Amino acid sequence: MIEMYVLNVAFFQEGGGFAVLLCDKNNKMVLPIFIGPLEAQSIALALEKQQLPRPITHDLMVNIFQKFGISIQKVVITDIKDGTYYAELYLKDYNNVISVIDSRPSDAIALALRTNSPIYMAPKLIEFTYKYEELIPQ
Protein backbone atom coordinates (compact mmCIF):
# COMPACT_ATOMS: atom_id res chain seq x y z
CA MET A 1 0.00 0.00 0.00
CA ILE A 2 1.12 3.54 -0.74
CA GLU A 3 0.41 6.15 1.93
CA MET A 4 -1.26 9.25 0.57
CA TYR A 5 -2.40 12.58 1.95
CA VAL A 6 -5.01 15.06 0.77
CA LEU A 7 -3.19 17.78 -1.10
CA ASN A 8 -6.26 19.82 -1.94
CA VAL A 9 -9.74 19.93 -3.38
CA ALA A 10 -9.69 21.46 -6.85
CA PHE A 11 -12.33 22.80 -9.19
CA PHE A 12 -11.78 21.93 -12.84
CA GLN A 13 -13.20 24.49 -15.28
CA GLU A 14 -13.12 21.83 -17.96
CA GLY A 15 -16.09 19.66 -17.09
CA GLY A 16 -17.13 21.88 -14.19
CA GLY A 17 -16.41 19.35 -11.47
CA PHE A 18 -14.45 18.93 -8.28
CA ALA A 19 -11.63 16.54 -7.55
CA VAL A 20 -9.85 15.60 -4.37
CA LEU A 21 -6.12 15.40 -5.06
CA LEU A 22 -4.32 12.65 -3.18
CA CYS A 23 -0.55 12.90 -3.11
CA ASP A 24 2.07 10.40 -1.99
CA LYS A 25 4.34 11.30 0.92
CA ASN A 26 7.28 11.96 -1.43
CA ASN A 27 5.30 14.45 -3.57
CA LYS A 28 5.99 12.46 -6.70
CA MET A 29 2.50 11.39 -7.78
CA VAL A 30 -1.04 12.71 -7.52
CA LEU A 31 -4.24 10.70 -7.81
CA PRO A 32 -7.20 12.93 -8.73
CA ILE A 33 -10.60 11.52 -7.78
CA PHE A 34 -13.61 13.39 -9.10
CA ILE A 35 -16.27 14.01 -6.47
CA GLY A 36 -19.55 15.84 -6.05
CA PRO A 37 -19.83 19.41 -4.75
CA LEU A 38 -21.20 18.41 -1.32
CA GLU A 39 -18.37 15.93 -0.78
CA ALA A 40 -15.87 18.56 -1.95
CA GLN A 41 -17.28 21.00 0.60
CA SER A 42 -17.07 18.42 3.40
CA ILE A 43 -13.45 17.57 2.57
CA ALA A 44 -12.51 21.25 2.26
CA LEU A 45 -14.07 22.00 5.67
CA ALA A 46 -12.05 19.18 7.22
CA LEU A 47 -8.83 20.35 5.52
CA GLU A 48 -9.38 23.85 6.88
CA LYS A 49 -10.29 22.47 10.34
CA GLN A 50 -13.56 24.39 10.25
CA GLN A 51 -16.36 23.47 12.63
CA LEU A 52 -19.93 24.30 11.69
CA PRO A 53 -22.52 25.11 14.37
CA ARG A 54 -24.30 21.80 13.67
CA PRO A 55 -22.73 18.52 12.54
CA ILE A 56 -22.88 17.67 8.86
CA THR A 57 -23.11 14.02 7.82
CA HIS A 58 -19.41 13.17 8.17
CA ASP A 59 -19.21 14.90 11.55
CA LEU A 60 -22.28 12.95 12.67
CA MET A 61 -20.67 9.68 11.62
CA VAL A 62 -17.53 10.50 13.60
CA ASN A 63 -19.68 11.34 16.63
CA ILE A 64 -21.50 8.01 16.32
CA PHE A 65 -18.21 6.12 15.98
CA GLN A 66 -16.83 7.82 19.09
CA LYS A 67 -19.99 7.16 21.10
CA PHE A 68 -19.83 3.44 20.35
CA GLY A 69 -16.06 3.00 20.69
CA ILE A 70 -15.31 2.61 16.98
CA SER A 71 -12.11 3.99 15.49
CA ILE A 72 -11.01 4.33 11.88
CA GLN A 73 -7.74 2.45 11.50
CA LYS A 74 -7.16 3.40 7.88
CA VAL A 75 -8.77 4.19 4.55
CA VAL A 76 -7.68 2.38 1.39
CA ILE A 77 -8.46 3.47 -2.15
CA THR A 78 -8.64 -0.03 -3.58
CA ASP A 79 -9.72 -0.04 -7.19
CA ILE A 80 -11.19 1.70 -10.20
CA LYS A 81 -13.88 0.10 -12.37
CA ASP A 82 -15.53 1.84 -15.32
CA GLY A 83 -14.13 5.18 -14.16
CA THR A 84 -15.44 4.80 -10.59
CA TYR A 85 -13.02 4.55 -7.68
CA TYR A 86 -13.65 2.22 -4.76
CA ALA A 87 -12.49 2.51 -1.17
CA GLU A 88 -12.62 0.63 2.10
CA LEU A 89 -12.83 1.81 5.69
CA TYR A 90 -11.02 -0.29 8.26
CA LEU A 91 -12.93 0.12 11.51
CA LYS A 92 -11.92 -1.21 14.92
CA ASP A 93 -14.68 -1.67 17.48
CA TYR A 94 -14.55 -1.64 21.29
CA ASN A 95 -13.66 -5.39 21.25
CA ASN A 96 -10.66 -4.68 18.95
CA VAL A 97 -12.38 -6.45 16.06
CA ILE A 98 -11.52 -4.93 12.70
CA SER A 99 -14.23 -4.73 10.06
CA VAL A 100 -13.76 -3.67 6.47
CA ILE A 101 -16.58 -1.53 5.06
CA ASP A 102 -17.09 -0.63 1.39
CA SER A 103 -17.18 3.14 0.91
CA ARG A 104 -17.11 5.85 -1.68
CA PRO A 105 -13.61 7.37 -1.65
CA SER A 106 -14.98 10.85 -0.96
CA ASP A 107 -16.80 9.68 2.19
CA ALA A 108 -13.83 7.64 3.36
CA ILE A 109 -11.47 10.60 2.84
CA ALA A 110 -13.82 13.03 4.62
CA LEU A 111 -13.93 10.65 7.62
CA ALA A 112 -10.17 10.06 7.57
CA LEU A 113 -9.47 13.79 7.68
CA ARG A 114 -11.78 14.25 10.66
CA THR A 115 -10.14 11.43 12.60
CA ASN A 116 -6.52 11.88 11.48
CA SER A 117 -6.58 8.38 10.02
CA PRO A 118 -4.08 7.33 7.35
CA ILE A 119 -5.11 7.11 3.71
CA TYR A 120 -3.58 4.50 1.41
CA MET A 121 -3.77 3.71 -2.28
CA ALA A 122 -3.46 0.23 -3.76
CA PRO A 123 -0.26 0.01 -5.87
CA LYS A 124 -2.24 -1.07 -8.93
CA LEU A 125 -3.68 2.47 -9.10
CA ILE A 126 -0.27 4.01 -9.85
CA GLU A 127 -1.12 3.95 -13.56
CA PHE A 128 -3.95 6.42 -12.85
CA THR A 129 -1.72 8.97 -11.13
CA TYR A 130 -0.07 12.04 -12.54
CA LYS A 131 3.39 13.35 -11.84
CA TYR A 132 3.23 16.01 -9.14
CA GLU A 133 4.74 18.60 -11.50
CA GLU A 134 2.03 17.96 -14.12
CA LEU A 135 -0.79 19.03 -11.79
CA ILE A 136 0.84 21.37 -9.30
CA PRO A 137 2.37 24.63 -10.63
CA GLN A 138 5.93 25.13 -9.46
Instruction: For the beta carbon of residue 45, count every other beta carbon within 10 angstroms.
Output: 19
Q: What is the pLDDT of residue 133?
A: 80
CATH-assigned architecture of domain 2-135: Roll (3.10)
Residue among 23, 61, 24 at smallest CA distance from 42: 61
Residue among 104, 65, 73 at smallest CA distance from 1: 73
Residue 16: φ, ψ to 5°? 60, 40
Is a pLDDT exceeding 80 seen at residue 16? no
Task: For residue range 50-69, list pLDDT tens digits in order.
Answer: 989 999 999 999 999 999 99
DSSP summary character for residue 97: -
Residue 123: φ, ψ to 5°? -55, -30
pLDDT band at 80 (very low <50, low <70, confident <90, very high): very high
